[in-house]
Chains A and B, each alone.
Chain A
Amino acid sequence: MSTYVALLDGGRREEAVEVRRVAPGAYEVRLRGKVHVVDAFRHDYGTLSLIVDGKSHSAMLDWRDARVNVRLRHAIVPLELLDERKLRMRRAAGKFTVAGPQAIVAPMPGRIAKVLVRAGEEVREGQALVVFEAMKMENELRSPKDGKVVEVLAREGETVEAQTKLCTIA
């Protein structure tokens, strides 16, 4: 039996999932206090055919290390799946908190179309900070938390490389 911890909503929610193999391709999966009878058949690249409690599902899994996007018929569920050891390491590193100063960086090479905040300004979680232009599209980079803008390094019209720090929210 193995136990995994899934992080949902970017780490805001946790779910424990217990998997027990009962026969080749047959599993019992305990989740939210319920045990599901699961028949799993692996198809081509990343595709899993699942029969869960008699219902058929096709799940396509796109893994990037511990992160996985699970594609079902009409939904894509992004989550991070850790075993207990990895979860302890992650907790020790304190990676999924937004406590302390958070740097907003350019996610890819692009251009600063607009700077929407000034140093010293109070911002809310989800508030747009910078309009960033890449691949001919404009996108808003938003604040990960409620806080204060402590520095603004981005200048309008400037071209920046990926990972360039644009501003800091504390």
Chain B
Amino acid sequence: MSTKRAIRKILVANRGEIAVRVMRTCREMGIATVAIYSDADRGSLHVRYADEAIHVGPSPARDSYLDVGRVLDAARRTRADAVHPGYGFLSEKAEFARAVERAGMVFVGPRPESMDAMGVKTTARANMRAAGVPIVPGSEGPIADETAARAFADAIGYPVMIKAAAGGGGKGMKRCDRAEDLSALWQSARRESAGAFGDDRLYVEKFLDRPRHVEIQVFADERGETIHLGERECSVQRRQQKVIEESPSAIVDDALRAAMGEVAVRAARAVSYRGAGTVEFLVDASRSFWFLEMNTRLQVEHPVTEALTGLDLVRLQIDVARGAPVPRQEEIVRRGHAIEARVYAEDPARGFLPSPGKITYLRVPAGPGVRDDSGVYGGWIVPQHYDPMISKLSAWAPTRDQAIARLVRALGEYTVHGITANIAWLIAALQHPAFRAGDYDTGFCARYERELLPRPDPEQEEIALVAAAVAAFKRDREEAEAFAARAVASPRASAWVRLGRARALRGEDR
């Protein structure tokens, strides 16, 4: 049980919600924290939460949070012994992990070699195939040209997906249903991929029917002991962005969990993994599962697993970084049901347009079994430069129905003014019959797009009209009273004028 490396101060190479999340655990562990911030983030919550804060550059991420040199320099200047990358930004850049280690600091994350092995999709697939991990039938590597792509698609059968080798976030990704569409879609995917990643290599894989996105949380220590903490179901996605995550998954039983867990552990071992990682799978209607990719970092949705296992994954990350062993697999106990919803500053009624701006008022939910991971506060201006997620709200309860009801209840208490948030949409999604039945897949958001748009019932609308009219009436009356009071107090106005104004005011009220 030796802890080999001392970690007394951690620089958190991130911003917003996840920076605050990591610092909270650091504070509990008595570890000092360093925040970094860009111009736009001087007033951000993570800056004021941290023990130290270093400015790292202008607002665009590439000039601040993505600038390895500047982030590293901040860590050196503050004599941090470790760097926690959070998620996004530099968290999956092996080059950053290497630079941190070269500078003599601990990178709270996997070895750079593991990140390399999982970073490029085609390399990851080849590595996983070698380790005996099931992968979606597809080309081993990038396909040379359109003719080769056609031959391959004919061999595995339509529909197929054309994907960018360097891809992510849905860019350069095309579904092709028929041989006659292949040419146009291939060209279009190439252009998109070249534009988005500066790399036009493409591969082709089988398209799965009604696939669900189910991922396994793994944890490994330095000696290679590797455990899994069960699954998270993340099929509620809008344009490849997860919106609602839960565990257990409605389609995963103990046997499937054990099988997927075993494969995920094998995947992690195959790349000598260390720390927290997530192996993402697609599970089809027949409950066959295939490796999708491995995220070599903490996930946004990690609170779901924390609620289920009672573990603090950030603490576990830091323990592992210090050289401590992971718990034994049989020590991991999963209880009840946990579910998380991502609150975004966006307007579902206007095509999910982001809604940056000043939060004029914020009241977050409380009560039994509710957790709010937020990076904002009342008065903060949500900047345009970064992701519009303002909070993750999660709920735990003994059963799935109770957990959903609890999250809906908590979302009903969530009040944010000044910007538009997707709260009513989240409630509609959680209450949708398909979601309630656990019968949903990655097509959920698109399939039920219209049904999920908030449409208040006439009774709610009537109450809203009454509320607005009464509020306006109170406001107008107070303004008139204030006006009259000023007139009465004014020595310049004649007594007749004052009397007239006072009468007018009383008259209006009668």
Give A residues with C-beta under 8 Å from B: 2, 4, 6, 8, 15, 17, 19, 21, 27, 29, 31-32, 36, 38, 40, 42, 45-46, 48, 50, 52, 57, 59-62, 68-79, 81, 83, 107-109, 128, 132, 134-142, 157
Interface of A is mostly: strand
Binds A, one of B138-146, B281-289, B466-474: B466-474
Q: Given contacts A27-B470, A108-B354, A138-B239, are A6 and B465 in contact (CB under 8 A)?
A: yes
Taking a contact as CB atoms under 8 Å apart, the answer to whether A40 and B474 are in contact is yes
A-B pairs, top 4 by smallest CB distance, nearest first, are A59-B467, A77-B464, A70-B464, A62-B417
Q: In the complex, what residue of chain A is closest to B463 when comparing beta carbons? A: A57
| CA A19 to CA B351, docked complex, whole Å | 35
Instruction: Kindly state whether residue B387 has any CB partner on chain A within 8 Å.
Output: yes
Instruction: Kindly state whether residue B386 has any CB partner on chain A within 8 Å.
Output: yes
Instruction: Kindly state whether residue B367 has any CB partner on chain A within 8 Å.
Output: no
Taking a contact as CB atoms under 8 Å apart, the answer to whether B468 and A61 are in contact is yes
Q: In the complex, what residue of chain A is closest to B420 when comparing beta carbons? A: A69
| CA A169 to CA B11, docked complex, whole Å | 51
Q: Mark B449-482, 1 if CB is under 8 A from A, else 0.
A: 0000010110011111111111111101100000
Taking a contact as CB atoms under 8 Å apart, the answer to whether B473 and A27 are in contact is yes
CB distance from A96 to the nearest CB of B (A): 16
Residues of A within 8 A of B408 (CB): 74
Set B352, B354, B460, B509: member contacting A21, Cβ < 8 A: B509
CB distance from B208 to the nearest CB of A (A): 23
Residues of A within 8 A of B466 (CB): 17, 29, 31, 36, 38, 50, 52
Residues of A within 8 A of B352 (CB): 137, 139
CB distance from B29 to the nearest CB of A (A): 31
Taking a contact as CB atoms under 8 Å apart, the answer to whether B384 and A71 are in contact is no
Residue contacts A-B, CB under 8 angstroms, 18 given: A4-B469, A4-B473, A8-B461, A40-B474, A61-B468, A62-B360, A69-B420, A70-B467, A70-B468, A73-B412, A74-B460, A75-B457, A77-B460, A79-B468, A107-B353, A108-B353, A138-B239, A139-B353
Q: Given contacts A6-B468, A50-B470, are A74 and B427 in contact (CB under 8 A)?
A: yes
Residue of A17, A46, A109 contacting most chain B CB atoms (<10 Å) = A17
Residues of B within 8 A of A73 (CB): 412
Instruction: Kindly state whether residue B346 has any CB partner on chain A within 8 Å.
Output: yes
CB distance from A5 to the nearest CB of B (A): 10
Set B346, B351, B460, B472: member contacting A141, Cβ < 8 A: B351
Q: Mark B187-206, 1 if CB is under 8 A from A, else 0.
A: 00000000100000000000
CB distance from A49 to the nearest CB of B (A): 10
| CA A166 to CA B368, docked complex, whole Å | 48
Q: A62-B361, A83-B476 are in contact. List 20 more A-B contacts (CB 8 A).
A: A4-B468, A6-B465, A15-B465, A21-B473, A48-B471, A60-B415, A60-B417, A61-B467, A62-B417, A70-B467, A79-B465, A81-B468, A108-B354, A128-B351, A134-B353, A135-B356, A135-B388, A137-B241, A137-B388, A139-B351
Residues of A within 8 A of B467 (CB): 48, 50, 57, 59, 61, 70, 72
Q: Given contacts A31-B465, A137-B346, A140-B351, are A109 and B384 in contact (CB under 8 A)?
A: yes
Residues of A within 8 A of B412 (CB): 73-74
Give B residues with C-beta under 8 Å from A: 195, 239, 241, 346, 349-354, 356, 360-361, 384-388, 408, 412, 415, 417-418, 420, 423-424, 427, 454, 456-457, 460-474, 476-477, 508-509
Taking a contact as CB atoms under 8 Å apart, the answer to whether B462 and A32 are in contact is yes
Taking a contact as CB atoms under 8 Å apart, the answer to whether B468 and A31 are in contact is no
Residues of B within 8 A of A77 (CB): 456, 460-461, 464-465
Taking a contact as CB atoms under 8 Å apart, the answer to whether A135 and B354 are in contact is yes
Residues of A within 8 A of B508 (CB): 2
Set B195, B388, B470: member contacting A48, Cβ < 8 A: B470
| CA A157 to CA B471, docked complex, whole Å | 46
Q: In the complex, what residue of chain B is closest to A107 when comparing beta carbons? A: B353
Residues of A within 8 A of B471 (CB): 40, 48, 59, 61, 68
CB distance from A34 to the nearest CB of B (A): 9
Q: In the complex, what residue of chain A is closest to B421 when comparing beta carbons? A: A76
Residues of B within 8 A of A57 (CB): 463, 467
| CA A41 to CA B91, docked complex, whole Å | 49
| CA A79 to CA B469, docked complex, whole Å | 11
Taking a contact as CB atoms under 8 Å apart, the answer to whether A79 and B427 are in contact is no
Q: In the complex, what residue of chain B is closest to A156 when comparing beta carbons? A: B195
Q: In the complex, what residue of chain B is closest to A66 when comparing beta carbons? A: B472
Taking a contact as CB atoms under 8 Å apart, the answer to whether A137 and B386 are in contact is no
Taking a contact as CB atoms under 8 Å apart, the answer to whether A135 and B387 are in contact is yes
Q: In the complex, what residue of chain A is closest to B408 when comparing beta carbons? A: A74
Taking a contact as CB atoms under 8 Å apart, the answer to whether A142 and B468 are in contact is no
Set A31, A46, A142: member contacting B462, Cβ < 8 A: A31
| CA A136 to CA B62, docked complex, whole Å | 13
Q: Given contacts A62-B361, A108-B354, A157-B195, are A19 and B463 in contact (CB under 8 A)?
A: no
Q: Given contacts A75-B464, A76-B423, A142-B351, are A137 and B239 in contact (CB under 8 A)?
A: yes
Q: In the complex, what residue of chain B is closest to A63 when comparing beta carbons? A: B471
| CA A77 to CA B423, docked complex, whole Å | 12
Residues of B within 8 A of A38 (CB): 466, 470
Q: In the complex, what residue of chain B is closest to A60 when comparing beta carbons? A: B415
| CA A56 to CA B223, docked complex, whole Å | 60
| CA A106 to CA B28, docked complex, whole Å | 45
CB distance from B463 to the nearest CB of A (A): 5
Taking a contact as CB atoms under 8 Å apart, the answer to whether B384 and A136 are in contact is no
| CA A137 to CA B196, docked complex, whole Å | 14
Residues of B within 8 A of A32 (CB): 462
CB distance from A2 to the nearest CB of B (A): 5
Residues of B within 8 A of A71 (CB): 415
| CA A74 to CA B430, docked complex, whole Å | 12
Q: In the complex, what residue of chain B is closest to A32 when comparing beta carbons? A: B462
Q: In the complex, what residue of chain A is closest to B412 when comparing beta carbons? A: A73
CB distance from A22 to the nearest CB of B (A): 11
Taking a contact as CB atoms under 8 Å apart, the answer to whether A29 and B387 are in contact is no
Taking a contact as CB atoms under 8 Å apart, the answer to whether B509 and A134 are in contact is no
Residue of A76, A139, A140 contacting most chain B CB atoms (<10 Å) = A76
| CA A72 to CA B350, docked complex, whole Å | 20
